[in-house]
Structure 1
């Protein structure tokens, strides 16, 4: 895969992370149970993030081992294939606890790429 495609995928990952963080910034966990549209949007953003991560080339992934590539892709797989049993507590935890650090890593990574 060419570097430009990797950069596009990395930007897709960052965009999804930023949106998910923004959507949860002024909300509480309980709102996910009451707002189906919010829950569906957040799940979709995690799916996009995971699908984009899967599209990043192995050489690029190997250059940035601090990013949990397998975990991100695995989350996407779980959401897609286990769509009938999504745990919104886990979705909330990923977005509020894990994505801010990933967002920072992706911003740094993209700033280094030509």
Structure 2
């Protein structure tokens, strides 16, 4: 069993998601094709989010049902196993459409666990 608790893992998810959103400020989808450092950084942050989610306890996953655990972990698995065949269109979509709502739900879980 990991010594890192769910609260810490949720903070890792929040922080990595926020950093990804920060990295895309003033960027376009086309920047992923031309800026290798940006695309690698974003892929890595998605991996971190998925890895942290994968280690959250089943009880917390059951408690915080608005967090799409299965999809987050599935995305991580896809990126890890298709390391040179990552679809940057999907990466862009995840970051621009899914991360802000994820941060909102993760923040709620963090507040609940801290209270």
Fold agreement, TM-score > 0.5: yes
Instruction: List gaps (5 residues or longer) in structure 1.
Output: none
1:32 corresponds to: 32
Runs of 4+ aligned structure 1 residues displaced above 3 Å come to none
Instruction: List gaps (5 residues or longer) in structure 2.
Output: none
Structure with the higher fraction of residues in helix conformation: 1
Matched, 1:12 2:18: no
Matched, 1:63 2:66: no
Normalising by the residue count of structure 2, what TM-score does the alignment of the two structures yield?
0.94
TM-aligned CA deviation for residue 108 of structure 1: 1.5
RMSD of equivalent CA atoms: 1.5
Matched, 1:42 2:71: no
Aligned length: 114
TM-aligned CA deviation for residue 25 of structure 1: 2.0
1:78 corresponds to: 78
TM-aligned CA deviation for residue 113 of structure 1: 1.3
